[in-house]
A and B are shown apart, each in its own frame.
Chain A
Amino acid sequence: MGQYLPVVAMLVLAVVFAILSFAASKLLAPRRPSAAKSSPYECGIVPSQEPPERFPVRFYLVAMIFIVFDIEIIFMYPYAVIYRDLGAFGLVEVLTFAIAVFASFVYLIANGALDWGPAKRLGRRDPQMSATRTTTSTVRRVGLEGRPAGDEEVAA
């Protein structure tokens, strides 16, 4: 069973790391709760409706783009370790793989996966989404309370 030892060690390390992180945050972080902080976590967007609402799919897109590169790294790392042993064959394989990943990346960029702004591509507009919603209007700048009401008009 000796061969499985590193796996067990990895498992233990992961658990220990998680426990340590929680503990450290508990011990070290200062605690000053406010209403804005205790509202449901939505990346700083003002909830315009009840929480169980659809998020813009963009968040998932970003997550998926991350996965694309995550997977690329997973393959790249072992290759980097033994690239000399694999020779030309390995190079071709990894190039193919990289091109495939790159193609998907090009596709994502071309489709505006990273364009952060109002929805503009769907033919028919979602009635629940206003065209006037922009980055400036949807992100609350904390600490504006008490300022002249003119700034808030945009959000409405």
Chain B
Amino acid sequence: MTSLLFAQLGTPHRIQTPSVAWSGLLPVLVLLGGAVVLMVVGALLPRRSRHSWHLWLTLLIAAGSIGCAVPLWFRVRDHGPLSILRDAVRVDGLALFLGIVIVVGVMLAALLTDGYLRREELEGPEPYVLLMLSATGGLLMASANDLIVMFLGLEILSLAVYVLAGLHVRRLRSGEAAMKYFVLGGFSSAFFLYGIALAYGATGSTNLTDIQRFLATNTLTNNGLLLASFALLLVGFGFKVAAAPFHSWAPDVYEGSPSPVVSFMASAVKAAAFAGLIRVFVYAFALDRHDWQPIVYVVAVLTLLVGSVLAVVQTNVKRMLAYSSINHAGFVLVGVQAASDRGVRSALFYLATYTFMVAGSFGVVTIVGRRGDNRHQLDDYKGLARTEPLLAFAFLVFLLAQAGVPFTSGLWAKFYVIGAAVEARSFWLALVAMLSTVISAFLYLRIVLAMYGGADEADEAAPAVPRLRIPFAARIALVVSVVATIGFGLVPGPLTHASKTAVPKIAAGK
């Protein structure tokens, strides 16, 4: 054995080293490098500082990442997608669109984190570093053109989020959430990895382009392996997006995790996982869509119903929003299920608008949760409109947008998704989606009623609670989210146009 090793030494021959188009990876690299720099610098400087320079540096890095993504967007739009690292990474419109959505999710979550850390007397740059590292994984997933790279991205994304869930070291529930998320996440990753292995066994490659080419040129006489890999990959993705029946972790983890982190989980993590799901199923397995569509159909129906029905019986607002985010995942699945240009476009639009809604919602939850992040009962929202009219109004906007009320982005998001489902002739699915909207509208209105009604009772009880403190950074996040939610509701055109540009070509049917 040793002779084998030493034999190499004697004959030096050049190994072909790949040439890498680094410019295509810049958004990821900026985020990654920024995270490392912030981590080291933050560790060397005094930990508890009055200035929130962690936050501003994070925002700067994230903005830099977006700044690198925008020129790429135009380049990709005009000259077609970039294939990097021997086609392991493919930077196309889809990757950049969802990449920007993920980074925006990071920025909003970071803005919420600042005030949260101060209030809870937590410290350090770690939350920001982890947010950025997690987003790095997300960007990698969004641009992965190889199942291995996708798994890598998934793990980078997840590991950071597991830690983020346990960010609040003194809160037992936070630790519990991290533990649950970690154990179940590891469990589902195993399924995902197994799915990759089966896909490799069935097609002979982990590269998505190769897989697609293989499936286009060969007819499998025995496709059991491939179908099993569909199921297992779907388990992995379904877990990350909290689709039923793999959703069970979501309410517990959302409830226990620090609220700013939840906003990240519900926006960026979902966007990344959906990016992977769309890449693998809608594009790589495009020709087998008749095999996987029914399964996604079933999962979507279950997710929609579980998300809306179970939300109704909750009394904890954070859990309600957790279930509602399951419901929204169902909506995006409806778009994916259509497996068409229009479906993907509607899914992208949904994810982009949902990011603002959910970040805003959990922003309000963060603030109302007060010190200790514990006041999430419906009763804690009673009379909010009286004490904090602007905050209540912002929450009203987010809730109505999630319910799909006109003049909010939520309406268009739901409208496009259902339109795509109808175009794909999935009428029953569209019907279930609309029904679930009605059911979940009940839940949103319940919160609204609590905020805008019940003021008198609160008066008599007169619990002398101090005024809510709304940190400056959180204010920015809320204002941005409100403006985006209403803005895209009034003028959906630009975003629709962008999502249209982002969608790559889907391989035609056999």
Given A6-B1, A82-B8, A85-B12, CB of A103 within 8 Å of CB of B17: no
Q: How far is the CB of A124 from chain B (nearest CB, A)?
A: 6
B464 interface residue, CB < 8 Å from A?
no
Contact A110 B43 (CB under 8 A): yes
A84 interface residue, CB < 8 Å from B?
yes
Contact A9 B43 (CB under 8 A): no
Given A6-B4, A89-B17, A100-B36, CB of A107 within 8 Å of CB of B43: yes
B4, B5, B8, B17 — most chain A CB neighbours (10 Å): B17
Question: B residues within 8 Å of A by Cβ?
Answer: 1, 4-5, 8-9, 12-15, 17, 36, 39-40, 43-44, 47, 121-123, 169-170
Residue of B nearest to A124 (CB): B170
Once bound together, how far apart are the Cα atoms of A90 and B18, in whole Å?
Answer: 11
Residue of A nearest to B48 (CB): A123
Residue of A nearest to B19 (CB): A89
Q: How far is the CB of A86 from chain B (nearest CB, A)?
A: 6
Q: How far is the CB of A16 from chain B (nearest CB, A)?
A: 15
- 5 pairs of A and B residues whose beta carbons are closest in the complex: A110-B43, A89-B17, A107-B43, A85-B15, A6-B1
Of A82, A100, A111, A124, the contact of B15 (CB 8 Å cutoff): A82
Given A81-B5, A124-B170, CB of A107 within 8 Å of CB of B14: no
Contact A85 B170 (CB under 8 A): no
Once bound together, how far apart are the Cα atoms of A59 and B72, in whole Å?
Answer: 46
* Residues on the B chain within 8 Å of A139, using CB: none
Q: How far is the CB of A110 from chain B (nearest CB, A)?
A: 4
Given A86-B17, A87-B17, A106-B44, CB of A81 within 8 Å of CB of B39: no
* Residues on the A chain within 8 Å of B15, using CB: 82, 85-87, 90
Residue of A nearest to B6 (CB): A81
Once bound together, how far apart are the Cα atoms of A111 and B17, in whole Å?
Answer: 38
Interface string of A56-97 (1 = CB under 8 A from B): 000000000000000000000000011011110110000000
A122 interface residue, CB < 8 Å from B?
yes
Once bound together, how far apart are the Cα atoms of A121 and B8, in whole Å?
Answer: 51
Given A100-B36, A103-B36, CB of A110 within 8 Å of CB of B44: yes
Once bound together, how far apart are the Cα atoms of A104 and B8, in whole Å?
Answer: 33
Residue of B nearest to A110 (CB): B43
Once bound together, how far apart are the Cα atoms of A74 and B402, in whole Å?
Answer: 50
* Residues on the B chain within 8 Å of A123, using CB: 121-123, 170
Contact B39 A103 (CB under 8 A): yes
Contact A107 B17 (CB under 8 A): no
Question: A residues within 8 Å of B by Cβ?
Answer: 6, 9-10, 81-82, 84-87, 89-90, 100, 103-104, 106-107, 110-111, 121-124
* Residues on the A chain within 8 Å of B9, using CB: 81
B9, B15, B122, B170 — most chain A CB neighbours (10 Å): B15
Contact B170 A90 (CB under 8 A): no
Q: How far is the CB of A94 from chain B (nearest CB, A)?
A: 12
* Residues on the B chain within 8 Å of A111, using CB: 43
Once bound together, how far apart are the Cα atoms of A86 and B13, in whole Å?
Answer: 9
* Residues on the B chain within 8 Å of A104, using CB: 39
Once bound together, how far apart are the Cα atoms of A85 and B14, in whole Å?
Answer: 5
* Residues on the A chain within 8 Å of B170, using CB: 122-124
Contact B40 A103 (CB under 8 A): yes
* Residues on the A chain within 8 Å of B123, using CB: 123
Contact B1 A90 (CB under 8 A): no
Residue of A nearest to B13 (CB): A85
* Residues on the A chain within 8 Å of B122, using CB: 123
Once bound together, how far apart are the Cα atoms of A103 and B17, in whole Å?
Answer: 26
Contact A9 B1 (CB under 8 A): yes
Once bound together, how far apart are the Cα atoms of A77 and B12, in whole Å?
Answer: 17
* Residues on the B chain within 8 Å of A81, using CB: 5, 8-9
Contact B121 A87 (CB under 8 A): no
Residue of A nearest to B2 (CB): A6
Give 22 pairs: A residue, B residue, CB < 8 Å, sorted on A: A9-B1, A81-B5, A81-B8, A82-B15, A84-B12, A85-B12, A85-B13, A85-B14, A85-B15, A87-B14, A87-B15, A89-B17, A90-B15, A103-B36, A103-B39, A106-B43, A107-B40, A110-B40, A110-B44, A123-B121, A123-B170, A124-B170
Contact A106 B121 (CB under 8 A): no
Residue of B nearest to A89 (CB): B17
Contact A107 B39 (CB under 8 A): yes
Once bound together, how far apart are the Cα atoms of A104 and B4, in whole Å?
Answer: 34
Q: How far is the CB of A84 from chain B (nearest CB, A)?
A: 5
Once bound together, how far apart are the Cα atoms of A82 and B10, in whole Å?
Answer: 10
Once bound together, how far apart are the Cα atoms of A111 and B40, in whole Å?
Answer: 10
* Residues on the A chain within 8 Å of B14, using CB: 85, 87
Of A84, A90, A124, the contact of B17 (CB 8 Å cutoff): A90
* Residues on the A chain within 8 Å of B47, using CB: 121
* Residues on the A chain within 8 Å of B43, using CB: 106-107, 110-111
Residue of B nearest to A83 (CB): B12
Once bound together, how far apart are the Cα atoms of A87 and B5, in whole Å?
Answer: 19
Once bound together, how far apart are the Cα atoms of A84 and B303, in whole Å?
Answer: 55
